[in-house]
Amino acid sequence: MRADLAALTPEALAAMANVGLVKRAQREIEAGQGPKVHEEANGAVVATFPDGISTRLLPGKALKDTPCGCGAKTVCRHRIAAVLAYAAMAGTETRPPWEISPEELLVWLGERAPLVDAAEAAGVEVELGTNPPIARFSGCTVRFLAGADLAHARCDCATTRCAHVPLAVRAFQRLSVEDRARGAGHVRLGPPPKPTIPAAMLAGVEGLLGRTLARGLADARGLAQAREEVRAQLNEYPWLDGLIEDLEAQREAWEIRSALHDAGEVRRLLAEGWARLRAARGGGEPATLLGLGEPLEVPLDRARLLSLGARLLAAGTARALEVLFWDGATVVSWSVAIPDKVDPASMIAVAGTPLAVMAGGQVLSRHLVRLARRTIEIRRGKDTTVIPQRGAWGDIPAPFGFPGPSALLADEVGRPPSFLRPRARTAALRIVATNGGVQGLSWSPGRQTLSGWIEDDGARLRVERAHEWFAPGAIAALAEALPSARYVSGWLRESRGGRVLEPIAVVTDRVVIPDLAPAAPIPALPIAAPEAPDVLGDALGRLESALDALAQDGVLSARIPPLAPALEHVGLRAMAAIYSRLEAARAAGDLGEATKAFADAAISVALARA
């Protein structure tokens, strides 16, 4: 029996060709127009169709390289139907990729073995999942569509016969038995990472952050040369480069009085910068903290992007739509600007398809580029199509997909705070199965917020969405869809009383994108009970406002209120002590100590909100 063919699921075949061809082949088989198949002694599977066309599936060959009488040079419906018909009668279990022996791999590699050895010797990190077998590298993903059969292993990078497939096999071979049973693991191939990061680079970034704080963002234009000098050292550290770029964007927004400027974001960026530098000096992993080794741009081969929802964003009158996709390995985002007075749902942006259809469907394309911050570019080309989806999100693994709130909340325990995680725009997206819909929907007229909860095994996750003028139909669409939801996707954030999921898509019998729903009145809902005063939250908010003023106008120049007694009164003694240090340093004109105290305070309040 050909275990490699028996293991090829319809989803795996769709990844090799497209969903339309698979569905056509399935319909023909169901209608009795499928092939008759038999296996020859040499392992070749021969399929003969009613119209006389014959297909031979040769062992050790990828489907596109096997001969078919129709003459197609790519994976055709005949090859797909032959695999489906054979798999239906085979019923064999396939070997997993970690059972490939080193000898088998060496034979398959042939003359390429030294190139793969060299790639391993340079050191590479691999995240592994076992169900289905998948290996994630920093810039691409390898999928084993037929288990241990290497002819059907597929990498989404655009390099022909790349080194990622054999590296993935080696990583699986070194995966521990415990991690295989758990379904996921991490393996480093090659030597350990360099134990040190250039001290001059860290000092340069720290100096730039200090000078920005000393001047205040409102007076930071004169640091342009210093910024460029520092960024020239950050080619290998995209997280730090992106942080400085975001600070500059905030400065430019402030200068033109744009609604994109956010004083709180400036304070958060400064806190993130110092936190990453301190953790790196403390021996933290450079890849996670600074983005070391993260490719800035990776062209993808034929890829399938499964939409997980979309979110409208607005700054002043400017609007944009961000669509979140699962690319088979991670969550990526794609953004498009929405012109003034244009309905975003009906706007055509990709493959002649309205955004409402694209945001609730899936994109198949050969013209994709994945960027370092997990964003996607969809470049012009004829091989891009948009097709529907059924909302089958159950196979999306952690840290994005979860079978319920208990699994999600357990996964969050022990994870680093958000400002020390990879700087991916999509890092906070979560997909949660509801197991009975979202319960307890209520409406808060004062806060203009819809809320409910998902519950399982005693764990409860709050679902909450505020009304926004630029998405006038979102609340009504959510109120209708959430009670019968099978899955909810959204941004996970920390709020008073625990973590909150802000929904951007709901799967019922279809995929609902609330931000693209037509304007509708909010239905009658139970009124939410008024919330008790948040004494700690108010104190943290006053501290954040004071730090925002320092970041905006300069750490020695800005005027801030005396907050230490108020922080002490609500039990925030450590923060009160830091604030007292900050006030004393400002009074003495000690820029170095004031900068250090600001960093301590900003990191502390970020941790309190994490």
Q: Which residue spans within 339-483 are E strands per DSSP?
A: 348-350, 353-354, 361-365, 368-371, 376-378, 384-388, 401-402, 429-433, 439-444, 449-456, 459-466
More confident residue, 493 or 146: 493
* Each residue's pLDDT tens digit, 5-61: 877 777 778 777 777 788 888 888 888 888 988 888 888 999 999 888 999 998 878
Q: Which of 121, 2, 118, 18 is nearest to 74 (CA)?
A: 18
Main-chain dihedrals φ then ψ at residue 588, nearest 5 degrees: -90, -5
Average pLDDT (258-265) is: 86
Residue 581 has pLDDT above 70, yes or no: yes
- Looking at residue 95, the DSSP 8-state letter turns out to be P
The candidate with the shortest Cα–Cα distance to 578, out of 556, 592, 593, is: 593
Upstream peptide bond of 195 is cis (omega within 30 degrees of 0) = no
- 544-567 average pLDDT score: 94
Q: Are 478 and 311 in contact (CB under 8 A)?
A: no
Cβ–Cβ < 8 Å for 356, 346: yes
Quickly state the pLDDT bin for 210 (edges 50, 70, 90).
very high
Measured distance CA(443)–CA(38) in Å, rounded = 63
- Name the pTM for this structure: 0.71
CA nearest neighbour of 15 among 195, 145, 202: 145
CA nearest 482: which of 521, 518, 442?
442
The pLDDT tens digits of the residues spanning 549-558 come to 999 999 999 9
Peptide bond into 339 cis (omega under 30): no
Separation between Cα atoms, residue 136 and residue 284, nearest integer Å: 21
Q: What whole-number distance in Å separates Cα of residue 420 and Cα of residue 272?
A: 7
Q: What is the pLDDT of residues 290-330, one digit of tens each?
A: 888 777 777 776 778 999 999 999 877 789 999 999 988 78
Q: Which residues pair with 501 in a beta bridge?
A: 463, 492
3-state secondary structure of 292: coil
Confidence of residue 1 (pLDDT cuts 50, 70, 90): low
Please state, in angstroms and as integers, the Cα–Cα distance from residue 408 to each residue in 311, 357, 426, 432, 435, following that order.
22, 29, 16, 8, 14
Distance, in Å, from the CA atom of 41 to the CA atom of 325, rounded to the nearest integer, reads 44
Q: How far apart are CA 389 and CA 361, in angstroms?
A: 5
User: Torsions phi, psi of 164, nearest 5?
Assistant: -70, -35
Taking the C-alpha atoms of residue 2 and residue 229, their distance in angstroms, rounded to an integer, is 59
Asked whether the predicted pLDDT for residue 92 surpasses 70, the reply is no
* Per-residue pLDDT at 514: 97
Tokens of 488: 């909810």
Give the residue from 454, 478, 455 showing the smallest Cα distance to 466. Answer: 478
Average pLDDT in the chain: 88
Q: Which three-class secondary structure state does DSSP give residue 308?
A: strand
Query: How far does the chain reach from its first CA to its final CA, in angstroms?
Result: 54
Q: How far is CA 484 from the centre of its chain?
A: 26
The more confident residue out of 158 and 123 is 123
